[in-house]
Amino acid sequence: QGTDLLLSGSLDGTVRQWDAVSGADRGEFLAGGWAGASDWIGALAAVEVGGGTSVVTAGESGVRVVREGQRPQTLPGHTGWVGSLVEADLGDSPAVVAAGYDGVPRVWNVATAGQHSCYGGPGEASAHAAPVHALALVDGSADGVGPNVVSAGGDREIHVWDPATGAGIRRLDRHDPSGSVRALAAHGSLLFSAGDDGLITVHDVARGSAEPVVTVPARTGRVNALVVVAVGGELRLVSAGEDGAL
């Protein structure tokens, strides 16, 4: 309709549309059987598929693909809730990476609703020993492949892996792994991670080293979210956490 829209999901299980300029509520993103769903939604992504837009949601009931005029389709494989979701680059195939309670990140082809790969490989034990809380894409040019997936969570570990094959590349060290990693953000080959300890750790993945470049104090208490933004032509890292400040 020529209007830029934002989509949001929430604890009531609905997906709503918002005018990105005016902030006006444009109503629910309706698909048969979706309205009134009670399962919470923790993350979502709008993916272009075949000239249309599909909305992929992650939440209490796992991962679902919502296409206009159709009932939501649940993608099988995840056990328990799924709280993290990012778009992935698989060439011509629109894809997302999803992870959560079972600690196994999975790459999904949105067009076919089929699993493309999973970190650890079919039938293998989970690469993470606890729920995954955060995902990000980072430039992995030093490894000869192109954007890598980074996953992190309750096992206090940060893993870099190839979404095309599910093969692990390396694990990154944090200076003081005293709590869960809750948030990831990336710009180029730079990866920012934060969590329960209130600290932000910076890695340059293209260096090929597991050691961080620097670790800085961010706030008092847990960091829940990170994002890289452009302000006045400069890049800034914004964090949010349990202390209520940005």
pLDDT digits (tens, 9 = 90+) for 16-47: 888 888 888 888 775 434 444 557 888 999 88
Positions of E strands within 119-175: 132-138, 148-153, 158-161, 168-172
Whole-prediction pTM value? 0.87
| Tokens found for residue 57 | 């949601």
Q: 63 with 57: CB under 8 angstroms?
A: yes
Amino acid occupying residue 60: E
Low-confidence ranges of the chain (pLDDT < 70): 1-3, 30-38, 68-69, 121-126, 141-146, 175-177
